[in-house]
Amino acid sequence: LGTDEWKRCFSVLDGIGIRKAAILGGEPTIVPGIERIVGFILKETRIDLSIVTNSTANMEVLENLVAVGLKRYSTSVDSVIGEGYDSYSSVKSNKAILALIRVKALGIESLTGYLVLNKKSISQVPQVVETLNSLGVWTYVIPFHHGPHDFWENRSQTDMNAFTEEDTDRIADLSQQLLKMKADGIKIANGVSYLEQMRTYAVGLNWHCFDSTSEIRIDADGTLMCCNDIRGKHSSAYSVFDLAESGGLEKFQDERSKDAINCPGCYWPSHYHAAEARISAIAGGGTWSDAR
Ligand code: SF4
């Protein structure tokens, strides 16, 4: 979408009650007009915004984003001792640490490192968390491995980075370690129940979202997606602008569930946390929209 269409997109989201959004990619900081889009969202809507980048942005873009009011910055950090889970992740991680230090100096206080957890990265996780914490940065642990040919739809259980049953004890140990670190005040953004359930779902990535997730994924052309992993035959027939119509969100959620129902699962923390928030809003007498 172009700049004006993105502005319209975020006006639609604001209108249907969305209060938190993250712009991610690909790489959002190379989108022409990103500063104008971010400035619009922060000034003209009620949406609390973060940007998720791979830290390849040049400093001028980051300075411009801070100048228009950006307060939250997230980036991928998979390793701090040289060897990432692949060669690209090492390069990204080194750049990310430098970017986090620079962005903090610009005045952004809400900083998060997205840490991919898989068979290759597991041994480094506590060290990455400690390092980020020492910089005042939250860690968000994301269990993930690719599908065939690096494709993100239908992950492969035979991928070399996928956890297997033999990793269960290591995952359980890591889960305990992260829970203790979190209890000790170390900045870990995942919720307690998510960390507790990691031993159950990290092998096989077979947690399942609700029929109607609280999270809406919008592709670069405004098409709605089933979720991070799945474009979805039913979901992708909708665009974000359809949500502006009366009952549009509910119609989309119904169609999305037809795509989700056939999925073998995942352990995306954002979907897990959204489901948890929704459950607690409903249990506390709230409405579905309270959990959006
Ligand atoms: S379980 Fe839900 S959120 Fe996870 S990959 Fe499947 S459809 Fe997407």
Would you tell me how many other CB atoms lie within 10 Å of the CB of residue 180? Answer: 11
Q: How much distance in Å is there from the Cα of 56 to the middle of ligand 1?
A: 29
pTM: 0.89
Task: Please write down the long-range contacts of 145-148, taking CB distance under 8 Å and 24 or more positions apart.
Answer: 145/118, 145/119, 145/205
Per residue in 161-180, pLDDT tens? 899 999 999 999 999 999 99
Per residue in 71-95, pLDDT tens? 999 998 877 665 555 666 666 777 8
Crossing angle for the helix pair 269-283 and 192-201, nearest 10 degrees?
130
Tokens for 5, please give them.
């269409």
For a mutational test of ligand 1's pocket, the pick from 194, 211, 230, 278, i.e. the residue with the most ligand atoms closer than 8 A to its C-beta, is 230
Secondary structure element (H or E) that encloses residue 182, with its range = helix 168-183
Residue with tokens 């950090």, as numbered in its chain:
77
When pLDDT is cut at 50, 70 and 90, the band that residue 18 belongs to is: very high
Per residue in 216-239, pLDDT tens? 999 999 999 999 888 899 999 999
| Closest atom of ligand 1 to CA, residue 228 | 8
Would you tell me how many other CB atoms lie within 10 Å of the CB of residue 156? Answer: 14
The whole-number pLDDT of residue 43 equals 97
Answer yes or no: is the C-beta of 226 below 6 A from any ligand 1 atom: yes
Residue with tokens 């009011």, as numbered in its chain:
69
| Closest atom of ligand 1 to CA, residue 232 | 7
Answer yes or no: is the C-beta of 215 below 6 A from any ligand 1 atom: no
